[in-house]
């Protein structure tokens, strides 16, 4: 019954490429404390490439109107496919993931699976999405971070990077904390309530059992709390909202 949370056979260094029209969105994210240190320590290698650099013509056009009509613009296949191909040639090719709202929903088992890879290439969409041939040409998989719409895949890519890299050995510094996280371990429970000092806060007391020093009872209590917390939040799954009338669209001036 050993939990398979931390990816024991993961390589020391993992490479992640991010392909986007907005590389500047990633600067403070990648330079921040946890990821910045892990990159400096050589645990992870993360590179950001702008696929506009692979667009043809003086205007470096990356989007165009959809065949058959419809609102907005689509990402043309050539710039993004050429960009991913160029990036893939830099090292042994990685698993290609396109961030799109219609993709497979990200969860901790998928995060653990991605964390086993030597290399990931994350492709961020914008506008109304990609020409459908991008996914085919790249043999990519599509991942979504939840049932709501973002204006682009960049924030979703950051979610994937953060969830995956914290499982790379050495990144967190404290392997035990990843093992005890919500959705980890064989039961995939969310964590129950936790407490720190003071023992009493505005009349709210820390549960007596946590002060008892009885580690067996504390472990059992925590497990019960985790089971209860998991049950409470699973009530609405897998889709937590009803499917009925079309969602309202608010646009000024229309
Ligand atoms: Cl990956 N992209 C966009 N544009 N919206 C999303 C998403 C991704 N995941 C949930 N919503």
In this structure, the strands spanning 74-75 and 63-64 are antiparallel
The whole-angstrom separation of Cα 108 and Cα 160 is 10
- Residue-wise pLDDT for 23-42, tens only, equals 999 999 999 989 999 999 99
102 lines ligand 1 (CB under 6 A): no
Q: Catalytic annotation on 181? A: yes
Q: Which of 20, 96, 99, 157 for mutating ligand 1's site (highest number of atoms within 8 Å of CB)?
A: 99
Q: Encode 229-249 in three state secondary structure.
A: HHHHHCCCCCCCCCCCCCCCC
Closest CA to 138 of 91, 85, 86, 92: 85
137 lines ligand 1 (CB under 6 A): no
- Residue-wise pLDDT for 43-64, tens only, equals 999 999 999 999 999 999 999 9
Find the catalytic residue in 128, 141, 162, 191.
128
> Residue 154 — very low, low, confident or very high, per pLDDT cuts 50/70/90?
very high
The whole-angstrom separation of Cα 161 and Cα 117 is 12
Which atom of ligand 1 is least distant from the CA of 145?
9
SS3 15: strand
pTM of the prediction?
0.89
Find the catalytic residue in 162, 175, 181, 191.
181
Strand partners for 142 = 98
Find the catalytic residue in 101, 112, 131, 154.
101
pLDDT, residue 252, reads: 62
> Residue 241 — very low, low, confident or very high, per pLDDT cuts 50/70/90?
low
99 lines ligand 1 (CB under 6 A): yes
> Residue 240 — very low, low, confident or very high, per pLDDT cuts 50/70/90?
low
Taking CA atoms, 203 is separated from 182, 196, 198, 200, 208, in Å, by 28, 15, 11, 6, 14
DSSP secondary structure string for all residues of 84-103: HHHHHTTSS--EEEEEEEEE
Residue with CA at minimum distance from ligand 1 atom 7:
101
The fraction of the chain above a pLDDT of 90, given in percent, is: 77
Q: In angstroms, what is the span from residue 245 Cα to ligand 1's centroid?
A: 21
The fraction of the chain above a pLDDT of 70, given in percent, is: 89
Q: Which of 101, 102, 148, 152 for mutating ligand 1's site (highest number of atoms within 8 Å of CB)?
A: 101
């Amino acid at each position: 019954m050993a939990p398979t949370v931390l990816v024991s056979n993961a390589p020391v260094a993992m490479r992640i490429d991010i392909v986007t029209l907005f590389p500047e969105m990633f600067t403070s994210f990648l330079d921040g404390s946890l990821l910045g240190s892990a990159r400096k320590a050589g645990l992870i290698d993360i590179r950001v490439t702008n696929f506009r650099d692979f667009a043809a013509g003086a205007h470096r056009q990356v989007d165009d109107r959809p065949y058959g009509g419809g609102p907005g613009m689509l990402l043309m296949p050539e710039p993004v496919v050429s960009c991913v191909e160029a990036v893939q040639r830099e090292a042994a090719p990685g698993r290609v993931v396109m961030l799109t709202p219609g993709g497979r929903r990200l969860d901790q088992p998928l995060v653990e699976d991605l964390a086993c890879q030597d290399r990931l290439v994350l492709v961020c969409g914008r506008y109304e999405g990609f020409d459908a041939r991008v996914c085919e040409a790249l043999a990519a998989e599509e991942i979504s971070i939840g049932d709501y719409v973002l204006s682009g895949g960049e924030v979703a890519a950051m979610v994937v990077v953060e969830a995956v890299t914290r499982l790379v050995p050495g990144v967190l510094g404290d392997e035990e904390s990843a093992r005890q996280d919500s959705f980890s371990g064989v039961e995939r429970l969310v964590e129950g309530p936790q407490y720190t000092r003071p023992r009493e806060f505005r009349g709210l007391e820390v549960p007596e059992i946590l002060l008892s020093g009885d580690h067996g009872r504390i472990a059992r209590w925590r497990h019960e709390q985790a089971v209860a917390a998991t049950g409470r939040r699973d009530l609405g799954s897998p889709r937590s909202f009803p499917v009925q009338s079309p969602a309202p669209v608010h646009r000024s001036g229309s």
